[in-house]
Amino acid sequence: MQKVYKPFKFSQIQNSAHFSEIMNEAGLPFPVSADMSVLAEPVQLGNKTIPNRICIQPLEGFDGTREGAPSDLIFRRYNRFAKGGAGLLWYESITIADDGRCNPLQMIIKPSTIKEIKRLVDETDRTAINAFGRKPYNVLQLTHSGRRSVDANWKSTPLAVVANPYIDHHNAIDGQSGTLSFATDEKIEQIIQEFIEAAVLSVEAGFDSVDIKVCHEYILRELLAAFNRPGKFGGSFENRSRALFDIIDGVRKRLGNSIDICVRLNAYDCIPYPHGWGMVKEEGVMAPDLTETIKLCQMLVERDVRLINISTMMPRYQPYGRGYLAELEGSEIHPYKGTYHLLKATKEIKDAVPGGLFVCTGLTWLEQFGGNVGAGGVKEGWFDFAGFGRQAFAYPDFAKDIIEKNTMYHSKTCITCDKCYDLIQKGHTTTGCVIRDQEVYLPLYRKYVQKQG
Ligand SMILES: Cc1cc2nc3c(=O)[nH]c(=O)nc-3n(C[C@H](O)[C@H](O)[C@H](O)COP(=O)(O)O)c2cc1C
């Protein structure tokens, strides 16, 4: 089990100036602004307007139907998000193929589920329009889970693209390894086509944009790190990024400009070269090197893929020390350092990629000061959108409080307890906030996590 080091008592931090002081003393000079009004500004992206600079990050609830359609709980989640006021709504990962699910209840985009997915978008938009007179800018995250795939009974069925001694023993979300199979070039070609077909269906469902997911442990991210793979999808930068650009070019060819394209991308993997992306090219060294990440982002912007959401395996991992391995070894993790490094990396990438619009990741760790850091980061040019993940489970109307009251209430924030992860990793069940949304999720936590002791 990992040990997460949490030295700061957020309930005792009085205001953003005090927060700044504490973080500066800890060697973590986050950008901080007491005035968060910058987050209320709309942003123009092509011929569309993103109503404000607050993004709800993709958050899967592991709660679709067996068939892969949205369930009542999914409708409930997006209803809460729509009422909450965030202008950029990044819908959770949805798989492009039946064999690419990371849990047995992940949504699948296919002809038989598209009607219900469209109803989800329509109802969510209508709720936002009723509350604020406008809909959010809607992104759908498309993925194939690759080495994180599981079957209908949660058995790990990992499809890898290259051997990785650091993580081959840990594939599924619950740490199962399963028996690795390796995708042939033909299988990768098939997956590319499936992404393109999924984008076509996304237009039908009414999304503004599709995210070709290149982050976390999923297949397109793994391809970026496939230094040791032979053939057309491995080795050189051109080969490792081929699948991503083939998908983007294929979507444009089929759809022209009828849907925007964006990506969620790992800045760095926190796994050493030659098994991790965005890392110094010296074997075994845990240190980031953003050269290729920046090059990739520049190429994306040249193709008019301007909206880029920067993540890493998990923001709590630092790209130094043990990185991702700390999780597997049970060594101590300092999530505030991890988050600080990731925001700094986002700034470095943004500085080098004019024309890009960048979403940051990890603000939930900063509890009631996440909005102040979001606003500070936008003002100081670190990123363009403040991205919040778990905060939206706990406090779905945080954006409204930021915009209307210039505040985030500590009594409503995510306490970063990780019980939402426990529900999926230990409980193999549907997830949400056990603390702040108790009615639905506390009984599930008691039944599926606590009963295991
Ligand atoms: C339960 C759960 C589900 C998630 N689902 C997704 C997902 O579908 N796609 C994705 O890119 N990230 C997913 N994430 C990661 C979040 O988007 C986000 O990057 C992470 O929680 C860190 O941000 P935060 O500190 O604001 O929560 C998920 C995280 C959690 C806790």
Q: What is the pLDDT of residue 453?
A: 59
Instruction: Find the 388 Cα to ligand 1 centroid distance in Å.
Output: 9
pLDDT above 70 (res 330)? yes
Residues 155 and 215 in one domain: yes
The model carries a pTM of: 0.98
pLDDT above 80 (res 452)? no
Instruction: Find the 231 Cα to ligand 1 centroid distance in Å.
Output: 32
pLDDT above 70 (res 263)? yes
Residue pLDDT, tens place only, 145-185: 999 999 999 999 999 999 999 999 999 999 899 999 999 99
Calpha distance 102→278 (Å, rounded): 24
Residues 373 and 435 in one domain: no
Residues 279 and 254 in one domain: yes
Q: In this structure, how many other beta carbons lie within 10 angstroms of the beta carbon of residue 281?
A: 12
- Using CA atoms in the order 40, 297, 230, 222, what is the torsion angle rounded to 10 degrees? -10
State the residue range of the domain holding 421: 417-453
Residue pLDDT, tens place only, 283-324: 999 999 999 999 999 999 999 999 999 999 999 999 999 999
The contacts of residue 192 (CB under 8 Å, 6+ apart) are 243, 246, 247, 250
- When pLDDT is averaged across residues 394-418 and rounded to a whole number, the result is 98
Q: What is the pLDDT of residue 116?
A: 98
What integer best gives the mean pLDDT of the chain?
97
Domain count, the chain: 2
DSSP H helical ranges for 96-140: 114-132
The contacts of residue 245 (CB under 8 Å, 6+ apart) are 299, 303
Please, which pLDDT band fits residue 24 given cuts at 50, 70 and 90?
A: very high
Instruction: Find the 314 Cα to ligand 1 centroid distance in Å.
Output: 8
Residues 292 and 303 in one domain: yes
Residues 162 and 45 in one domain: yes
- Strand, coil or helix: what is 131? helix
- Using CA atoms in the order 233, 236, 240, 243, what is the torsion angle rounded to 10 degrees? -60
Residues 373 and 448 in one domain: no
Q: Any idea what DSSP says for residue 63?
A: -
The token pair at 202 is 């996304």
* Residue that is written with structure tokens 């110094």 in the block: 280
Instruction: Find the 261 Cα to ligand 1 centroid distance in Å.
Output: 20
Q: Any idea what DSSP says for residue 3?
A: E
Residues 340 and 197 in one domain: yes
pLDDT above 60 (res 1)? no
Residues 445 and 354 in one domain: no
Residues 12 and 111 in one domain: yes
CATH number of domain containing 281: 3.20.20.70
Residues 390 and 440 in one domain: no
The atom number, within ligand 1, closest to the CA of 216 reads 11
- When pLDDT is averaged across residues 235-249 and rounded to a whole number, the result is 98
Q: In this structure, how many other beta carbons lie within 10 angstroms of the beta carbon of residue 418?
A: 14
Residues 146 and 244 in one domain: yes
Q: What is the pLDDT of residue 119?
A: 98
Calpha distance 24→21 (Å, rounded): 5
Q: Any idea what DSSP says for residue 32?
A: -
The residues lining ligand 1, judged by C-beta closer than 6 Å to any ligand atom, are: 57-60, 92-93, 141, 215-216, 264, 311, 315, 361-365, 388-391, 420-421, 431
For 298-335, b/e burial (b = at least 16 CB within 10 A) is: ebbbeeebbbbbbbbbbbbbbbebbbbbbbeeeeebbb
pLDDT above 90 (res 2)? no
Task: Name the helix (H) or strand (E) containing 388.
Answer: strand 386-388
Instruction: Find the 418 Cα to ligand 1 centroid distance in Å.
Output: 11
CB 240 within 8 A of CB 292: no
Residue with CA at minimum distance from ligand 1 atom 14: 59
- When pLDDT is averaged across residues 239-250 and rounded to a whole number, the result is 98
Residues 375 and 434 in one domain: no
Calpha distance 316→365 (Å, rounded): 9
- When pLDDT is averaged across residues 246-274 and rounded to a whole number, the result is 97
The token pair at 168 is 């081959």
